[in-house]
Structure 1
Amino acid sequence: MDSILRQDKRPATFNGPLEAGIRAVALLGAAFPQTYDLQRLVALDFLLVHTGDVGGPESLHPPTPHRSAELLVRRGLVEDALLLMMTRDLVQRQAAPDGFKYSAGENAVMFLDTLSGRYLRALKERASWLVATFGHHSDQEFRAVMRRFFDDWVEEFQHIEPSTGGKQ
């Protein structure tokens, strides 16, 4: 899983659709029977690898500057991941009055039970913690949580430049 080959034979990053798909299945499996929309899954996927930033277990991925920018590119990745996992009945998509919702598919439990590597066990543990901690928040409550952490990340990594137009 370190890297997979793209059709153009260049190695894909570790954070490709397969890995994101496994994270989505772990999140949806931990949340079952609850469903989430794409936007919530994007945010949960981000938090899943950065749990240490939100008071949880040690983060799976190392801290990097400008983590908040990850949210901007993550949507397409998570969407591709969900589509990939749907082809194997690991994720189900249902139409709801407020848009599409995703849940663990028929094969999700069996698939998750086969994941036994150290990283994958840690991933499942963090998915369970994340769902227990934030999974039942209303959309408004969850947005407030994300806004609070987003503001902290922006403040932490913001480069403050001295003013060039006036006295200091």
Structure 2
Amino acid sequence: MEKVDRLSPDLPFNGPLETGIRAVLNLYACFPKALDIQRLTALDYLIVRTSVLDGPPDLHPATPIVSPITQVRRKSVHAALRLMISRELVQQVATESGIFYRAGESSKFFVDALQSSYIRQLMNRASWLAKYSDQLDDQEFDKQMDQLLENWVSEFQDESGAAGSV
């Protein structure tokens, strides 16, 4: 029997399954468009924090320290994509521009089977995000994410510019 690692209590919504569900919902909402890991990482954050884009109210409650899109989140999204690819819920697409991801053949059945209120709220936000981000080309989207990240970083810096003084 396989050993199951304990999940960190600090990451109740960021395990591979939870992150993978958000990825499938985001990709399903954007179908047939394929997205790269950078866009998926941003959408993983934004799907529960849509208010930062003047969208629907945040799905998760505010926390004292808002963690911006980081390498940690990117690694979590990457692990989640591997899990969802293994279940044919996500398809990996290699192009001249890089590696992209698209909703897999089984994603419609998966999304339709998810019926909880929380999942419906996630799907509504994924649909809103797909429409919102579809209006922006990659450069405009990246510029907006850079501005959000700059705001998050400056929130936690003291007057000398050193981070971590809260």
Please report the TM-score for the alignment, with normalisation by the length of structure 1.
0.85
Q: What are structure 2's unaligned runs of at least 5 residues?
A: 162-166
In structure 1, C-alpha distance between the alignment counterparts of 2:52 and 2:39, rounded to whole Å: 18
Distance in structure 2 (CA, Å) of the matches to 1:161 and 1:101: 40
> How big is the shift at 1:67?
2.3
Identity %: 46
* CA distance in 2 between partners of 1:70 and 1:94 (Å): 23
Structure 1 unaligned residues grouped into runs of 5+: 1-5, 164-168
Measured after TM superposition, the shift of residue 58 of structure 1 is 1.0
Q: Does structure 1 conserve the Cα–Cα contact (< 8 Å) formed by 2:68 and 2:152?
A: no
> What residue is the counterpart of 2:50 in the other structure?
51
1:158 to 141, 156, 159: 156
C-alpha distance in structure 2 between counterparts of 1:61 and 1:135, whole Å: 24
What RMSD in Å do the two structures reach over aligned CA positions? 1.9
Partner of 2:27: 28
Cα pair 1:20 1:81 within 8 Å, conserved? yes
Matching of residues 2-151 of structure 1 within 5 Å: 7-8=4-5, 10-12=6-8, 13-14=11-12, 15-151=14-150
Size of the alignment, in residue pairs? 156
Shift of 1:139: 1.5
Shift of 1:42: 0.5
CA apart distance, 1:68: 4.2
Tell me which residue corresponds to 2:164: none
2:96 and 2:160 map into 1 onto residues whose CA distance is: 50
Q: 65-74 vs 143-152, which deviates more?
A: 65-74
Rg larger for: 1
